[in-house]
Amino acid sequence: MLVPRSAFNAAYLPYLTASQRVQIFYGGAGSGKSVFLAARALLDAMTGRNTLVVRQVARTLRASCFAEVQKSVARFGLGDWFQVSRSEMSLTCRHNGAQLLFLGLDDVEKVKSLTPGRGALTDIWVEEATETRWADLKQLDKRLRGLSAHKKRLTLSFNPVSRAHWIYREYFGAFPETEGRLVQDDLLILRTTYRDNRFLTADDIQALEGERDPYFHQVYTRGEWGQLGGSVFTNWQVGMPPADLSATWLRCGLDFGYARDPAAAVLVALDRRKGRLYALRELCQSGLTNDLLALRVKALAGGLPVTCDSAEPKSIAELRRHGVRALAAKKGPDSVLHGLQWLNQLQLVISPDCKKLREEVLAYRWAADGQGGFLPRPEGEDHLIDALRYALESDSLARDARALRR
């Protein structure tokens, strides 16, 4: 390689030649992800790869990705290697004819008809991918076809504006947010922040660390997925439990269901010292008679007590006959709001295995009041969320009892 490895931030070096079909580089402002991808696309062209670089609006490309690639040409001393067309926004490698092409998704017909001067399109880089629609990304993916010695790649880069975005729903189901990296056969996800960029100035760092707006600090300083107003759960992430998880932390809750609504149970671990709640495993299934439900719950909870919805005493009795240590939730006035308030005081870490719980948490919102505010009434499916509340009921009641004694 003509360019020394010291020209790159260490966080990105392992991915200079990554071959996963879908690659996602996201995180905070100033993390260096766009600089890295611009440099990588340039070096890829020297190996014969053809790259299409897109943003939602064409005019934003000239001052962003196109300018960044030209900076890489100058910084690496590769002027003799590339012919730059500023009018057409393209770069062509003089030694093999490979190209970097730049187009906006606001001109979809051009994207559909685009063809490199030589060979097949091997790479598409979507900058600020949160600006794009799912349908546009599907169209782009179809453009990666044709014979080539190189494996095709679709790369997305962005700041994580909201967990409600389709990118999060589509790709982040198994992503361990506590680790910040996922490497699978055809999917790569890497989160970075300004701390991963050794080329920032002291002023740059001070501006990012001094951000006072909670949303902007979360998204642009810490590089974490943002929360839209009205979300019931605001302190959660996908991640794995610690290796030293204690059996005394384990809890289990069950919400009954049969036909239209599923039976839902969740196994959790509560680390009181750190204020963290780990959702470990889930059960969410319709059509289970109580004998079958008992088998599933015992497989989930083992011999743990299981706190159940008290609205079905007959079902609780049947579960006990089948060997489940079923207990009735105490509930009481405002028990739903009380339980949600208690849960929101904890940091909720959801295992990648708990896909249904993650979906419920994502969609669970406070009801709108019609005037731009919200009512203290949650809306959305809550089968596993109810099970989560039941699992922690004794802990929340014990906390309240301690508070009253003070």
Q: Give the residue, 115 or 175, on which the prediction is more confident.
A: 175
Boundary of a domain, candidates 221, 253, 287: 221
Provide the domain count of the chain: 2
- pLDDT exceeds 50 at position 103: yes
The radius of gyration of the chain's CA atoms, rounded to the nearest angstrom, is 26
> Token pair of 274, please?
């750190």
pLDDT confidence of residue 108 = 66
From first CA to last CA, the distance across the chain in angstroms is 68
Judge if 304 and 388 occupy the same domain: yes
pLDDT (tens digit, 9 = 90+) per residue, 228-275? 678 899 889 888 899 999 999 999 999 999 988 999 999 999 999 999
Q: Is the pLDDT of residue 369 over 80?
A: no
pLDDT classification of 28: cutoffs 50, 70, 90: very high
Question: What's the confidence (pLDDT) of residue 235?
Answer: 86
Q: What is the pLDDT of residues 46-66, one digit of tens each?
A: 999 999 999 987 778 888 999
pLDDT given at position 112: 73
256 closest CA partner among 398, 142, 386: 386
Q: Check whether 405 has a pLDDT greater than 70.
A: no
Q: Residue 190: name the closest of 376, 69, 379, 32 by CA.
A: 32
Tell me the C-alpha to C-alpha distance, in Å, between residue 305 and each of 174, 252, 265, 312, 327: 29, 7, 12, 17, 7
More confident residue, 375 or 37: 37
- C-alpha to C-alpha distances, 323 to 182, 255, 314, 371, nearest whole angstrom: 40, 18, 15, 51
- Average of per-residue pLDDT values in the chain: 90
The average pLDDT across 337-365 equals 90
The pTM score is: 0.77
Element (H, E) at 60: helix 59-61
Whether residue 227 is contained in a domain is answered as no
Residues 176 and 304 in one domain: no
3-state secondary structure of 154: strand
- Confidence label for 403 from pLDDT (cuts 50, 70 and 90): very low
- Evaluated on CA atoms 184, 185, 189, 192, the torsion sign reads positive
Shared domain for 272 and 387, answered yes or no, is yes
Backbone angles phi, psi at 123, to 5 degrees: -135, 140
Domain of residue 110, CATH code: 3.40.50.300
327 and 401 in a single domain? The answer is yes
Measured between alpha carbons, how far is 301 from 372 in angstroms, rounded to an integer? 42
The domain boundary, picked from 221, 245, 265, lies at 221
CA-to-CA distance for 145 and 231, rounded, in angstroms?
A: 40
Is residue 363 over pLDDT 90?
Answer: no
Where is 206: in which H helix or E strand?
Answer: helix 202-209
pLDDT digits 0-9 by tens, 182-218: 999 999 999 999 999 999 999 999 999 999 888 889 9
Tell me: do 139 and 260 sit in the same domain.
no
pLDDT value at position 401? 42
Whether residue 229 lies inside any domain: the answer is no
Q: Are residues 9 and 81 in the same domain?
A: yes
Q: Indicate whether 271 belongs to any domain.
A: yes
Evaluate whether residue 228 is within a structural domain: no
Mean pLDDT, residues 298-321: 95
pLDDT at 161: 85
Domain boundaries, position 398: 236-405
CB 403: neighbour CB atoms within 10 A?
A: 8
Q: Are residues 71 and 145 in the same domain?
A: yes
Q: Which segments of 234-379 does DSSP mark as H helices, in order?
A: 290-301, 313-321, 335-344, 355-363
Q: How confident is the model at residue 258, as a pLDDT?
A: 93
**Strands of the 51-55 sheet, one edge to the other:** 82-85, 90-93, 99-104, 51-55, 123-127, 153-158, 22-27, 187-192, 181-183
Assign 3-class secondary structure to 7-19: HCCCCCHHHCCCC
Least confident of 22-26, 42-46, 84-88, 113-117: 113-117
Among residues 197, 221, 245, the one where a domain terminates is 221
pLDDT number for residue 406:
44
Is residue 226 one of the residues assigned to a domain? no
* 8 A C-beta contact, residue 10 and residue 142: no
Q: CA 189, CA 204: separation in Å to the nearest integer?
A: 25
The per-residue pLDDT for 52 is 95
Six token digits for residue 366: 């406070």
* 127 Ramachandran zone, left/alpha/beta (phi>0; psi -120 to 50): beta
d(CA 81, CA 79): 5
- Is the same domain home to 292 and 401? yes
Indicate whether 300 and 204 sit together in one domain.
no
The CA distance from 161 to 164, in Å, is 9
CB atoms under 10 Å from CB of 258, counted, come to 16
Q: What is the pLDDT of residue 223?
A: 94
- Predicted local distance difference test score (pLDDT) of residue 404: 35
Structure tokens at 347: 């940091």
Nearest by Cα to 374 from 231, 213, 227, 236: 231
Regarding whether 151 and 109 lie in a shared domain, the answer is yes
Residue 396: inside a domain: yes
Whether 203 and 245 map to the same domain: the answer is: no
Query: What's the pLDDT score for residue 335?
Result: 81
Share of the chain above pLDDT 90, in %: 65
Residue 64: strand pairing partners: none
Interaxial angle between packed helices 67-75 and 33-46, expressed in degrees from 0 to 180 and rounded to the nearest 10? 70
